[in-house]
Amino acid sequence: MWAFPEIRNVADIVRYNAKHYPQQTATQFMGYALSWAEFDEKSSKMANAMRSAGVNQGDRVLYYAGNADDYFLTIYACAKINAVFIPMNWRLSSTEAAGILNDAKPALAIVQNSFKDLWDSARDMIDLDIPSIDMVAGQREQNPLWQWYDGADSSDPNAWCGLEDTTWQIYTSGTTGIPKGVEFCQAGIMNMRLCEHLEPAYTWGSQDRFLFCVPSFHLLGLGLSMQAMYNGATIVIATQFDPTEVLQLINQQKPTLAGVAPVMLQMLLDHPQTESTDFSSLREIMYAGSAISVGLLKRAMEKIPCKFMQFYGSTESGGAITLLRPDDHDLNNEHRLTSCGKPLPLIEIKIIDADGNSLGANQPGEMLIKLPSVARGYWQKPDAWKEVFQNGWYKSGDVGYFDDEGYFYIVDRAKDMIVTGGENVYSTEVENCLSLHPDIAGAAVIGVPSDKWGEEVKAMIIRRPGTNPSEADIIDYCKERLARYKCPKSVAFVDDFPRTGAGKVSKKDLRAPYWENCGRSIG
C-alpha cells in the first residue's frame, strides 16, 4: 500500500532519497544546488548542533525566516532528533509574535537577519530566554547558521520517532484572536502522503522540479513540498512570491510543478514579463488557499498550457481534503469550476444540519470530515480541540453541499473567516481590535470580493455619538496593532447592523450586497 516502505517517518524521506538519488538535486536556491547526499549530511550536522545546544526530543524549534534551503534543512534536522518544527509567521506584529513565543516556549530559534528587530521586540515582551541563531538567506559559507553547525558531527543521529510524536506545530489564529498551535504527528504526515499516493491524479516523481514560492509558514507550501520530496523531486525555491523572480525561475530553472494561491496566479498573469515567459516546462499547477473567480481560472488555463488542480483543505486537515482534478477543469462547464471537487482516497465527508442529521445531495450544511491525516490536536488547548474534533470527525466549520455527481461546493465559511491573498483572517480578531477604538460604538468585519486578493477585509463601523473618525483613522489604528494583511482595506459607516432573530449581527446580510452576482467560488 505504501509507495516507499522504507519511508516510515519524515526524516526517512531525506535518508531514502540520499540512498537512491545521491547526486540528484534536492534543493535549488539562489543559484546554489544541494544534492540529496549533501542535503542529508547538512541536515545531520544541523541536527547534532541542535542537540549540542540543548534541544531534546519533543522540544520546539522555531524557524523565524523566509524561504530558503535553510527552511528545508531545519525541517529534516528537527525530524532527525525528534524535535518539533515551528514555522513562524513573519508577517505578524511583534505583539502577535510574542503571544506565539509565550505559547510555544521554543528551546531554540533560527532568525533571519531581516526580521531581527521584530524578533528582539517580541522577545522583550515576554519573560523567556530563547536562544537564537542568526540566518542570512543565500550566503552559503558566510551564513551564520551554516557556520554554527559546520563543525558538528555529520553522522545521522537517527533518533527514535514514534508515530504519535508531534513533528510540526503550525499556528493559526482562533476566532478570539488567541493563537492555536496545530500539532501534526508522524502518522498524520505519513498518512497524508498515503492518501496522495493512492490518488491517481498525483503523478509526481523523482524527475519533477517543484516551484516553492509561497510563504514559508504556509501549510500549502509545506504540504506540497513534502509530497514532492517524498517522491524524490527537486525543490526550486523562490526567496518570496515576487512575480518577477518567479517568472525568471520558470524561464531559468524549468520547474514542472508549482503550488500557488489564486492571487499569485493573477499577479503572474498581470505581469508584463508574462508574455516573454516560457511556461512549457510546467505540467501541473496546484492552487488553493482563497476564493478564485471563474474568469481568473479561465484566463490562467488559456495562458499557461498545463494541467490545473485545485485542493480544498484546512490547517487542521494536514493537507488536501478534496481535489478538483485536472480532468474536471473544463472551460465549457463554468459551474463545475466553482466546485472544490471530490475527496481523496481514505477521506470521507458528510454534510449535517444543525441537529447533526446527515443531509442529501444539494442540501447545504456543515461539512464534517474523517481523514487519517488529521492533526493530533491544539497545543495545550484540549478543550478547543474537543469543540472541532468529535467521534472521529473533524468539524470544518465550512458550509457546503454535494451535487448529484458527488462534487462538493463551499457556500460559506463558518466563524466568518476571511481569506485574503492566501492568508486567513478571523473577523472577530479584527473586531476585538476595533472595539478598543474610543470613537467606535460597534464594529463588524466581513470579507468582500477583491480582484487582486480574492477577498479583502472590510470594516462596518458605528461611530460613537459626537465623534467623527475617518476611514484613514480606523485603518491606521489597525495597522499599529495587527499584521498588515489583517487590516481593513476599506471602511463603511452605518447607523446599525442587520440582526438575526437572536439579536446577533447577521454577517450573511452584510456580505450579500458585495458577493451577489460576482461569479466567485470559495475553495
> Would you state the pLDDT for residue 174?
45
User: Does 31 share its domain with 114?
Assistant: yes
Residue 119 lies in a domain: yes
> Would you state the pLDDT for residue 169?
97
> Would you state the pLDDT for residue 42?
98
User: Does 426 share its domain with 410?
Assistant: no
b/e per residue 341-375 (b: at least 16 CB within 10 A): bbbbeebebebbeeeeeeeeeeebbbbbbebebbb
User: Does 352 share its domain with 486?
Assistant: no
Which of these three, 414, 442, 471, is where a domain ends? Answer: 414
DSSP labels for 353-412? -TTS-B--TT--EEEEEE-TT---EETT-HHHHHHHEETTEEEEEEEEEE-TTS-EEEEE
The answer to whether 415 and 504 are in contact (CB under 8 A) is no
User: How much is the average pLDDT of 69-77?
Assistant: 98
> Would you state the pLDDT for residue 255?
98
Q: How far apart are CA 393 and CA 367, in angstroms?
A: 10
Note the pTM of the prediction, 2 decimals: 0.85
Q: Are strands 179-185 and 166-173 parallel, antiparallel or unpaired?
A: antiparallel
Q: How far apart are CA 143 and CA 136, in angstroms?
A: 5
Tens of pLDDT, residue by residue over 443-454, are 999 999 998 888
DSSP labels for 132-188? EEEE-TT-GGG-HHHHHHTTS--S-------TTSEEEEEEEE-TTS-EEEEEEEHHH
> Would you state the pLDDT for residue 419?
84
User: How much is the average pLDDT of 140-153?
Assistant: 94
User: Does 392 share its domain with 475?
Assistant: no
Average pLDDT score over the chain = 91
User: Does 388 share its domain with 252?
Assistant: no
Q: Domains in the chain: how many in total? A: 3
175: pLDDT strictly greater than 50: no
> Would you state the pLDDT for residue 132?
97
Q: What are phi and psi of 317, to 5 degrees?
A: -75, -20
Which of these three, 318, 337, 356, is where a domain ends? Answer: 337
501: pLDDT strictly greater than 80: no
Q: In the structure, what pLDDT confidence band is assigned to residue 415 with cuts at 50, 70 and 90?
A: low
> Would you state the pLDDT for residue 290?
60
User: How much is the average pLDDT of 263-272?
Assistant: 89
Residue 228 lies in a domain: yes
User: Does 300 share its domain with 441?
Assistant: no
User: Does 289 share its domain with 226?
Assistant: yes
Which of these three, 279, 306, 337, is where a domain ends? Answer: 337
> Would you state the pLDDT for residue 205?
95
Q: How far apart are CA 75 and CA 486, in angstroms?
A: 28
> Would you state the pLDDT for residue 71?
98
User: How much is the average pLDDT of 469-498?
Assistant: 94
- 225 CB-near residues (< 8 Å, 6+ apart): 72, 210, 212, 235, 259
Amino acid, single-letter form, for residue 34? L
Residue 4 lies in a domain: no
Tens of pLDDT, residue by residue over 99-119, are 999 999 999 999 999 999 999
User: Does 327 share its domain with 190?
Assistant: yes
Tens of pLDDT, residue by residue over 386-413, are 999 999 999 998 888 999 999 999 876 6
Residue 298 lies in a domain: yes
User: Does 447 share its domain with 371?
Assistant: no
Provide the grid cell at 485: 494583511
- What percentage of the chain exceeds 70 in pLDDT? 95
Provide the grid cell at 508: 450573511
User: Does 490 share its domain with 370?
Assistant: no
- CATH number assigned to the domain comprising residue 473: 3.30.300.30
List the one residue out of 241, 275, 245, 239 whose CA is nearest residue 259.
241
Residue 152 lies in a domain: yes
Residue 434 lies in a domain: yes
User: How much is the average pLDDT of 513-519?
Assistant: 79
Between residues 393 and 138, the one the model is more confident about: 393
- CATH number assigned to the domain comprising residue 315: 3.40.50.12780
User: Does 30 share its domain with 65?
Assistant: yes
Residue 1 lies in a domain: no
153: pLDDT strictly greater than 60: yes
**The domain containing residue 370 runs over which residues?**
347-414
User: Does 256 share its domain with 155?
Assistant: yes
- CATH number assigned to the domain comprising residue 391: 2.30.38.10
DSSP 304: S
> Would you state the pLDDT for residue 47?
98
> Would you state the pLDDT for residue 397?
87
Residue 17 lies in a domain: yes
Q: How far apart are CA 324 and CA 309, in angstroms?
A: 6
Provide the grid cell at 293: 473567480
> Would you state the pLDDT for residue 414?
65
The total of other beta-carbon atoms located within 10 Å of residue 452's CB is 12
Q: How far apart are CA 64 and CA 91, in angstroms?
A: 10
